[in-house]
């Protein structure tokens, strides 16, 4: 049995470690606040999207961004790349796209009768996969390797992708003609699914005043570097997660699989719940949220704030749920309201 003095010593050591970590995090999270400031020179009213992009950047987690055309999704990603001073590629996904158009191919050189690898646009740091659900299965499969393994295979040769590597994919929720539903395996690889909504009236007025000009180029200055991002990731790994918060995270994911075990009546509404990847991603996202807030420990509110974006694309609803006009988002919100916060 552990003596009270030993427990007190352990608690004091933990408290001191968190204190030092918080001081270091406050210093190293400051460049990411500057990123927000630079991006806001261009964007209006997309604070949530920018915040989620930073979380993905800090945790090596890809983002699926859903929203109607004209909400500055492309501008947001391009602005983020400029603020980090890193490479950016925009890929327009179409039904006739080939894997070679994405990852590259081998090119024959007649002068020495050999094949050389010509790398594709996937070899960049930030990739905007525009209208990802328009690409056929073979392209999705090629993209899956890059997302999960962070490498690309061309002609039997494997090439690692340079860090930071982040895919931000967009899809249009309105126009479904000529689209391919994302396979569940690929959808699960996206850490977050962010739904971008219309700006409110004040934001719309601000957009009008700022952007209704023939020349609207706004210079974005690089305020951080890939090296600072890599160091921030090491700090995020050290952020403290209390056992109560860990159990809260596990409960949230478990409810999506067996809601009746938690006293929640969702009978016949959920086809598939969140995978263990949901648990991992929810923990990482909560840590990144704490980092951006300048804290060395995770609060339950960090988990609750990010949970919908982590779970909405991992909870597959049944036909019965659709008949009752119940979406995965409404079910996740019901779960968040039901599970007690520690």
Q: What is the pLDDT of residues 272-330, one digit of tens each?
A: 888 899 999 999 999 999 999 999 999 999 999 999 999 999 998 888 888 888 888 99
Q: Identify the pLDDT of residue 180.
A: 67
In this structure, the number of other CB atoms found within 10 A of the CB of residue 40 comes to 14
- 4 pLDDT exceeds 50? no
Provide the pLDDT confidence category of residue 3 given band limits of 50, 70 and 90: very low
239-338: CATH homologous superfamily?
Magnesium chelatase subunit I, C-Terminal domain (1.10.8.80)
Percent of the chain with pLDDT over 70: 94
Identify whether the C-beta of residue 236 lies closer than 8 Å to the C-beta of residue 291.
Answer: yes
Query: What mean pLDDT do residues 10-24 have?
Result: 86
> How many Cα atoms occupy the beta-carbon half-sphere of 215 within 13 Å?
1
Average pLDDT over residues 138-156: 85
pLDDT confidence of residue 113: 77
pLDDT at 192 over 80: yes
Where are the domain boundaries for CATH 1.10.8.80 in the chain? 239-338
Task: For residue 238, name the pLDDT band (cuts at 50, 70, 90).
Answer: very high
What mean pLDDT value characterizes the chain? 86
Element (H, E) at 170: strand 166-171
d(CA 157, CA 280): 31
Can you give the pLDDT at residue 251?
Answer: 94
Whole-number Å distance between alpha carbons of 26 and 197: 31
Q: Name which CATH class applies to 31-208.
A: alpha beta
Q: Where along the chain do the CATH 3.40.50.300 domains lie? A: 31-208
- pLDDT at residue 177 greater than cutoff 80: no
């Amino acid at each position: 049995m552990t003596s009270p003095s030993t427990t007190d010593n352990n608690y004091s050591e933990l408290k001191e470690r968190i204190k030092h970590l918080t001081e270091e995090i406050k210093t190293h999270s400051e460049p990411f606040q500057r990123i927000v400031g630079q991006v806001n020179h261009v964007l209006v009213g997309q604070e949530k999207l920018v915040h989620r992009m930073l979380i993905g950047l800090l945790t090596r987690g890809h983002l699926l961004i859903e929203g109607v055309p004209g909400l500055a999704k492309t501008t947001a990603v391009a602005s983020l790349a400029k603020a980090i001073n890193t490479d950016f590629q925009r890929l327009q996904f179409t039904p006739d796209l080939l894997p070679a158009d994405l990852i590259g191919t081998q090119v024959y050189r007649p002068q020495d009768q050999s094949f050389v690898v010509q790398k594709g646009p996937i070899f960049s740091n930030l990739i905007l996969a525009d209208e990802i659900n328009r690409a056929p299965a073979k392209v999705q499969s090629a993209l899956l390797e890059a997302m999960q393994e962070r490498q690309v295979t061309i002609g039997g040769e494997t090439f690692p992708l340079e860090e930071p590597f982040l895919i931000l994919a967009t899809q249009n929720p309105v126009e479904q003609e000529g689209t391919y539903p994302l396979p569940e395996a690929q959808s699960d690889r996206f850490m977050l699914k962010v739904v971008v909504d219309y700006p409110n009236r004040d934001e719309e007025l601000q957009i009008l005043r700022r952007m209704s000009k023939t020349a609207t180029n706004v210079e974005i200055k690089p305020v951080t570097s890939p090296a600072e991002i890599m160091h921030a990731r090491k700090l995020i790994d050290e952020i403290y997660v209390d056992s109560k918060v860990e159990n809260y995270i596990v409960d949230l994911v478990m409810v999506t699989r067996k809601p009746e075990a938690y006293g929640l009546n969702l009978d016949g509404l959920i086809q598939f719940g969140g995978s263990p990847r949901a648990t991992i991603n929810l923990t990482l996202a909560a840590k990144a949220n704490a980092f951006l807030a300048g804290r060395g420990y995770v609060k339950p509110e960090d988990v609750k704030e990010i949970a919908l974006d982590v779970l909405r694309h991992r909870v597959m609803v049944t036909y019965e749920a659709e008949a009752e006009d119940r979406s995965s988002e409404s079910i996740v919100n019901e779960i968040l309201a039901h599970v007690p916060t520690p």
